[in-house]
Amino acid sequence: MALNNFPDLAKLPTSEKVLLLEQLWDSIRGDEEKFSVPDSHKKELDKRMEKLVPNSLLSFNELRNRVEKRK
């Protein structure tokens, strides 16, 4: 399925596409149990979690401040 198959949707302004996307996500919320995560993905997440250094992540405010300083 491609956006080209829905020419009316393709013509929508970005703001309306975002609203439509939010509605689509809301419509599938709760269906997570119908989709399984492959074991390879779970293993990769476990490997990444093992490499994660505690307290090495930035808060949103810290990240925003760093980005602002670069401007």
Cα 40 to Cα 7, 32, 51, 69, distances in angstroms: 37, 18, 17, 39
Q: What is the pLDDT of residue 14?
A: 95
Q: What is the pLDDT of residue 11?
A: 92
Q: What is the pLDDT of residue 66?
A: 93
Give the residue extent of every domain in the chain.
Answer: 3-70
Contact between 12 and 6 (Cβ < 8 Å): no
Mean pLDDT of the chain: 89
Question: For each of the chain's 71 residues, which pLDDT tens digit applies?
Answer: 788 898 999 899 999 999 999 999 998 888 877 888 899 999 999 999 888 877 788 899 999 999 999 98
pTM above 0.75, yes or no: no
